[in-house]
Chains A and B, each alone.
Chain A
Amino acid sequence: MRLVQGNEAVAEAAIKAGCRFYAGYPITPSSEIMHFMARKLPEVGGIFVQMEDEIASLAAAIGASMAGMVSMTATSGPGFSLMQENIGYTAMTEVPVVIVNVMRAGPSTGIPTAPSQGDVFQAMYGSHGDYPVIVICLADVLDSYLLTARAFHLAEKCRTPVVVLSDEIVGHMRESVTLPEIESIAIDENGKAERPEMPVIGRDPDVYYTGLASEDGRVISDLDEYDRLIKRLYRKIGGVASCKIENGDADTILFTYGSTYRAAKAVIKVADVGIFKAETLNPFPERELRKVAKKASRIIVPEMNVGKVVKEVERVVYGSCKSCEVISVATHRRIDPFTILEAVEMAGRV
């Protein structure tokens, strides 16, 4: 057992999963990821670059990925806003890259550094156009390790951007954990992944990447073809939705994602509730949520924002099950077990 910080676990998992390129610009509460990569990447023959801003950071990570490297960047809200254009670009060009956003209170500079879950919709829908992006939520230090590793594997498999959402609480907490071994993406001595199906700069002749809609190396403008392209992009991430359910037969279910999960874990000891822990927000774990909603009377959604993911929950639950009530617990303070307990008790009384 070791004492490991959430951000350090993210960085450690990245290197173990095969990441050999990091480009970033420091910002609290994500900076420890960058510190770790600056120290450790050179030791494993990787490349670390501090860029001039977050636009360039993601651009560099995408470029490295086009050249065959497993690459990432990490930031917080203000930097994540700057990265939006390039997130669409990497989705359209189908280049694998992992982007970590350790959320803090926004908008704009907001409160450096208070925790928040305000960026969830931006992570899911931030860039323009219809594009697939996998969004993974980290609940604690072990998640930071295991799910970050999964993010890299999913990015490779689906050839798509993966956004890893952490927050100030998860990123900065230190916890006693035993970190298991994780599988690495196959990389050669130069730190490059094989990627036989992908054009790689420096390996293949005449590589041309463009943000224009294109299929099989041709730029397309036919809308039927475009429709097929976008639907194909979405199909790639179709099967990766992930969640964990505890005590799923309970009458009251706490729908959690990210750091609210651990507050719910304390509540489950004193109240007869179940926990639905969403590990991906995009794709949304709809099928599992529907199953839970059919048995439960109410689903409580605690989140550290104005109430965002609750809208997704309502869409899924009310679309299939009219008898289950969805209750939002939205606050900009930390979600502690007392806050959730109060909501559980109030709901029970009505």
Chain B
Amino acid sequence: MSVQTCQSHLLVAKSDRFEIRLAGRGGQGLIKMGLILAESAVREGKKVIQLQSYGSEPRGGLSKSDVIIGDVDYPGILKLDVLLSLDQQAYDESLSLLKLGSLIIFDSDMVKPKLLAGVQHSIQFTRIAEELRDRTCANSVALGYLVAVTGIVEKETVEEVMAESMAGKFPREVVEINLRAFNRGYAEGYARNHDRSTLLQKVHYMC
């Protein structure tokens, strides 16, 4: 829509919902992380909607997974509270959906940030993942960071869901490395949680 009317703003303002987008390239595992995040929120008794991109995206193109927590009337993004991006194009394309003052988390090796009004965190998720083992667990590092800075779900819940959802499908060492990666990301986020208080307020108000 080209012109946002007063009521449209009211609609966003009146919706007690927390919208998170995990965006990147197919194969980075962000859809899986969206599912883990959504499942964790359900276990904590929160209302959740999870959506993901379909098409050729999951095979190398753009890929996105949206998790909406709280007031889940409309199954789609109204205005994003948090954008986590591991890819430049995914970052660029989601900017128009951001709410004023939203949090943007991106991999500084993958994304060149733009000047924006929101809070931007740059972390080298992929490099951290490579230090741990290889880049395939960058998604888990990123999820750990996101959970730490937003506090949207408890760390322990995510660990439980992650372990359960991977058990039997992957060798035990892969599950363990992902849990370690998640914890490493969480620690990074925890160390930089100076913005967390404002986000947490909203989360608590909503749930």
Contacts and interface: CB of A to CB of B under 8 A. Distances in A.
B11 A270 contact: yes
Interface stretch (A196-204, A225-233, A259-267, A290-298): A259-267
Contact of A175 (B8, B10, B72): B72
Contacts of A308: none
Interface of B: 1, 4-5, 7-8, 10-11, 14-15, 35, 38-39, 41-42, 45-52, 54-55, 72-76, 78
B49 A341 contact: no
Contacts, number: 91
- For the complex of A and B, list the 8 residue pairs with the smallest distance between their C-beta atoms, beginning with the closest: A266-B74, A174-B50, A265-B73, A266-B73, A176-B48, A176-B42, A3-B42, A113-B54
B66 to A, nearest CB: 10
Report whether over half of chain A's contact residues are helix, strand or loop; otherwise say mixed.
Answer: mixed
A338 interface: yes
Interface centre among B7, B15, B39, B74 (most CB of A within 10 A): B74
Given A3-B38, A176-B48, A337-B11, 19 more contacts: A28-B54, A29-B54, A112-B55, A173-B75, A174-B50, A175-B48, A175-B50, A176-B41, A176-B49, A262-B73, A265-B73, A265-B74, A269-B14, A270-B7, A270-B14, A338-B1, A341-B8, A341-B11, A344-B7
B73 to A, nearest CB: 4
B39 A338 contact: no
A169 B1 contact: no
Contacts of A176: 41-42, 46-49, 72
Nearest to A112: B55
A342 B1 contact: yes
Nearest to B8: A338
A259 B74 CA distance: 9
B58 to A, nearest CB: 11
Contact of B74 (A2, A113, A174, A263): A263
Interface centre among B35, B38, B47, B72 (most CB of A within 10 A): B72
Contacts of A263: 74, 76
Nearest to B41: A176
Given A1-B45, A168-B54, A338 B73 contact: no
B7 to A, nearest CB: 5
A339 B76 CA distance: 13
A28 B35 CA distance: 19
A interface bracket (residues with beta carbon within 8 Å of B) = 35 or more
A172 B8 CA distance: 26
Interface in A87-132: 111-114
Contacts of B76: 169, 263, 334, 336
Interface centre among B4, B14, B42, B45 (most CB of A within 10 A): B42
A1 to B, nearest CB: 6
12 contacts: A112-B55, A169-B75, A173-B49, A174-B38, A174-B49, A175-B49, A176-B41, A262-B73, A265-B73, A342-B8, A344-B7, A345-B7
Interface centre among B47, B50, B78 (most CB of A within 10 A): B50
B54 A341 contact: no
A3 B74 contact: no
Contacts of A345: 5, 7
A3 B48 contact: yes
Contacts of A270: 7, 10-11, 14
Nearest to B39: A3
Given A174-B38, A266-B74, A3 B50 contact: yes
A271 interface: yes
A137 to B, nearest CB: 15
Contacts of A12: none
Contacts of B45: 1
A342 B8 CA distance: 8
Contacts of B15: 266, 269
Contacts of B8: 338, 341-342
B191 to A, nearest CB: 31
A266 B68 CA distance: 14
A54 interface: no
A172 B38 CA distance: 14
A345 B10 CA distance: 13
A279 interface: no
Contacts of B4: 338
A140 interface: yes
Interface in A307-350: 334, 336-339, 341-342, 344-345
A337 B47 contact: no
Contacts of B72: 175-176
